[in-house]
Amino acid sequence: MLLYSTRNKQNTVSFKEALFKGLADDGGLYMPVELPKLSSDFFEALHIMDLQEISLEIVDALLSDEMEPMALNNIISDTLSFDIPLIHIHDNIHCLELFHGPTLAFKDIGARFMARCMSYFNRSDKREIHILVATSGDTGSAVGNGFYKIPGIKVHILYPKDRVSKLQEMQLTTLGENINVLEVDGSFDDCQALVKEAFKDKDISEKLTMSSGNSINIARLIPQSFYYHYAYAQLKENEPVVFSVPCGNFGNLCGGIIAKKMGLPVSQFIAATNVNDVFPSYLRTGKYKPKISRSTISNAMDVGSPSNFERMSDIYDNSLNAFKADISACSFTDQQTRNMMRSVLYKYNYMLDPHGAIAYMGLMNYIGDIGSTKAIFLETAHPAKFIDIMEETLELKIELPDELKKALSGTKNVTTISKNFEDLKAYLLNGSF
């Protein structure tokens, strides 16, 4: 697969290069030069195919020039070793549960796929690769889990001390093995700045082969297109559907757009956000104005400058009308989110986490106008990941799933560093500081 940089279409690279680089040298994001249309045979057979079969057809169309069929087969079956069920909620409304992976959030899918691709390309090189990732909570545990015990790869996760939840902290810090965790005395922005500086540092890049685990990597987007097809397959209907996606950095939505470009019949995407509404206000006003993010109860979507906006602008040629033809957008407050979480539990006996509740509201807002279309919203995290907010909002006790219980009973293993770059540099170069 050939990919270009969103800042220069002449600057093309292989998938392998895009995978290890993450960001192009010119600062752009990588996009496939071509997204092949899947055959009509594929779409006819979709309803009788399972998640792995569907995913294999898609990666085969995209990556078979760089990876052998057997390798792709193994990567898909290892990545997707859990189901992604579509649950009927009421009327034409369905929920795609993306939270059955090891860290109970949708980011598992992208992170596991990326990790296995890196391990594949590194199989003969035998260099040790260092993955650096800054996290405000969930990305770190998905990336850590994705690379857990993958040979030849060491992960270094940076998170802001005392600013992630107890559960998130335990999920991050109890993995051990090849997953190193650094607790930074600073904010998430400080963590991100440290990672950026490490990539620019000559001494570090001379000594270590480094790569980034954050969400701009194209290898995290490709697998996020699989489950849109699988959701459609589970509907067992042959009419176009509406997808509502809870958005932060818009990586999940980009996966959907890729699926549509490859032929999936999607009549509309709904990009639903919390009060961090840079994208909805762009669609309304035509002006893109990044902002400082505000804290909400759907905190994985607290993004003021969505990193995949540049990718979407590239796909839609910077045309507001082209954007609007495919995507509608809306934003919701915490109060609306809590009300909807209560209402859906009482009316339909289904527990939405705050992120899923925003996607559901996006759908309700839109469906109001169009009635009978089949519609799917994406539920991106297991409600128990946000146990405090859930219990406070719904006034009931929530049982922790085994994955989270296990993390809470594990042994915390972290190195504390200051937000001074010299600390991180010494740690990376010497293994201590």
Residues 129-148 binding ligand PLP (CB under 6 A) are 138
Contact status, residue 397 vs residue 306, Cβ threshold 8 Å: no
DSSP E strand boundaries for 17-164: 30-32, 86-90, 93-97, 129-134, 153-160
Distances (CA, A) of 365 to 82, 257, 339, 371: 31, 21, 15, 11
Residues 191-220 binding ligand PLP (CB under 6 A) are 215
C-alpha angle 22-133-409 in degrees, rounded to nearest 5: 140
The reply on whether position 248 binds ligand PLP by CB under 6 A is yes
The CB-of-135 to ligand PLP minimum distance in angstroms stands at 10
C-alpha angle 179-185-187 in degrees, rounded to nearest 5: 95
- Tokens matching residue 157: 């996760």
Distance CA(243)–CA(232), nearest Å, equals 10
- Tokens matching residue 402: 């085994």
Site string for ligand PLP, 294-333 (x = CB under 6 A): ------xx--------------------------------
Q: Which is nearer to ligand PLP, 376 or 424 (CB)?
A: 376
The CB-of-265 to ligand PLP minimum distance in angstroms stands at 22
The CB-of-215 to ligand PLP minimum distance in angstroms stands at 6
Q: Which of 307, 369, 368, 359 is nearest to 331 (CA)?
A: 359
Q: Which is nearer to ligand PLP, 108 or 423 (CB)?
A: 108
Q: Which is nearer to ligand PLP, 211 or 214 (CB)?
A: 214
**From 251, 280, 362, 383, residue interacting with ligand PLP (rule: CB under 6 A):** 251
Tell me the three state secondary structure of residue 183: strand
Distances (CA, A) of 233 to 172, 175, 203, 256, 300: 34, 35, 50, 14, 28
Distance CA(430)–CA(345), nearest Å, equals 52
Residues 350-369 binding ligand PLP (CB under 6 A) are 355
The CB-of-245 to ligand PLP minimum distance in angstroms stands at 7
Residues 30-89 binding ligand PLP (CB under 6 A) are none
Q: Which is nearer to ligand PLP, 195 or 271 (CB)?
A: 271
The reply on whether position 105 binds ligand PLP by CB under 6 A is yes
- Start-to-end CA span in the chain (Å): 41
- Burial (CB < 10 A; 0-12, 13-18, 19+), residue 40, is exposed
Q: Which is nearer to ligand PLP, 72 or 104 (CB)?
A: 104
The CB-of-213 to ligand PLP minimum distance in angstroms stands at 13
Q: Which is nearer to ligand PLP, 94 or 107 (CB)?
A: 107
The CB-of-416 to ligand PLP minimum distance in angstroms stands at 25
How many binding residues for ligand PLP (CB under 6 A)?
A: 16
Region binding ligand PLP by CB under 6 A among candidate stretches 179-187, 241-249, 286-294, 312-320: 241-249
The CB-of-240 to ligand PLP minimum distance in angstroms stands at 23
Neighbours of 33 (CB within 10 A): 11
Residues 372-391 binding ligand PLP (CB under 6 A) are 380-381
Q: Which is nearer to ligand PLP, 4 or 269 (CB)?
A: 269
Distance CA(264)–CA(402), nearest Å, equals 35
Q: Which stretch of DSSP H or E encloses residue 3?
A: strand 2-5
CA dihedral 277, 310, 55, 359 (to 10 degrees): 10
The CB-of-248 to ligand PLP minimum distance in angstroms stands at 3
The reply on whether position 116 binds ligand PLP by CB under 6 A is no
Region binding ligand PLP by CB under 6 A among candidate stretches 58-66, 248-256, 338-346, 392-400: 248-256
The CB-of-282 to ligand PLP minimum distance in angstroms stands at 15
The CB-of-298 to ligand PLP minimum distance in angstroms stands at 7
Q: How many residues can be counted in the chain?
A: 433
Positive or negative: CA dihedral 280, 258, 88, 303: negative
Q: Which residues bind ligand PLP (CB under 6 A)?
A: 105, 107, 138, 215, 246-252, 300-301, 355, 380-381
